Amino acid sequence: MSPLLSVAGLVVDLPSPAGVLRVVDGVSFDIPEATTVGLIGESGSGKTMTANAVIGLLPGGAVLDGALRWRGEDVLRADPGRRRRLRGREIAMIFQDPLAALNPTQRIGRQVGEILRRSGMRRDEVRRRVVELFDRAGIPEPSRRLRNYPHEFSGGMRQRAMIALALAGNPALLLADEPTTALDVTVQARILRLLRSIQRDEGLAMLLVSHDLRVVAHVAHQVVVMYAGRVAERGPTSAVLSRPAHPYTRALVQSVPAVRTRTAIAHPLPGAPASPARRPAGCAFHPRCPLARERCRSEQPVVRQVADGRWSACHFAGEVSRS
């Protein structure tokens, strides 16, 4: 079966005062139907730019190459009208900061209903459907909450409103960009349970962008690890996080405190992430890698299959997974 979305050799170049920066460099992965794929990495790894490229929300001046195949159609080369129709209807976005994404001057019920009105629904049908969406997103007293403004909602409630807004177009794919970062731990857990329930019950696919491995481990079926705009490793979540085949993935795993132990020791990654303006030659991770050798400094590794369903961009992937 063909994947719902196939990202193949995606390249994103952005203009900057320092010249053109390649912020996404040859990224490839698939999202099958009814599957959650986690896109993880440190800040600046290119994961949000990748998600924005999928939905067509890159800043002006961005130049894209590669392929984005939606149900087999390469939408990267589709006309702007087709991209607009795809956004919101077939692919929807849940943003990191709902307060910035929601219009502060409009009632939340009206904002969610706008998508439904554009589809030709009658006024009474729109109200009924918005109440259903609020209820599905776990907003209490949904009929009364239709008239609230964004500032009248808590952070967790605003994120639930964003989820309702994303579901309004009945999409097949949800893009969730750090959807729990600004929330406290308790609310974060509730939102994650809600997203997992919606994905499972509605049969949706989801691309979850996060820097938090614990979030991805609880929600994603597959994981794509990004570093310096490139894919470092990808495969089934449990396999990748339990037996990494790239030193960067292993370092990320070791940087998370082991909450089941008394010591809960974390091992921070040494150094700083590579910048698109100063990406090292060879493997971009080599200045921070304890296994780096001369080949790593001079030859950029390609993403290759290292096991069934497992891919790694490390010259010594087998050695990493055994250590």
Q: Where are the domains of the chain?
A: 5-90+171-246
Residue 253: pLDDT over 60: yes
Q: Which two tokens stand for residue 241?
A: 């996080």
Strand bridging mode 91-94 / 173-177 = parallel
Q: Which two tokens stand for residue 95?
A: 């943003």
- Using DSSP's 3-state secondary structure scheme, residue 237 falls into helix
Q: Which two tokens stand for residue 69?
A: 């195949």
What CA–CA distances, in Å, run from 215 to 37, 96, 176, 239?
A: 12, 14, 12, 16
Residue 186: pLDDT over 90: no
Q: Which two tokens stand for residue 88?
A: 């919101």
CATH 3.40.50.410 fits domain 5-90+171-246: no
**Measured distance CA(168)–CA(157) in Å, rounded:** 17
Of 151, 152, 150, 132, residue with least CA distance to 142: 132
pLDDT in tens, 16-59: 998 999 999 999 999 999 999 999 999 999 999 999 999 999 98
pLDDT band at 261; cut points 50, 70, 90:
very low
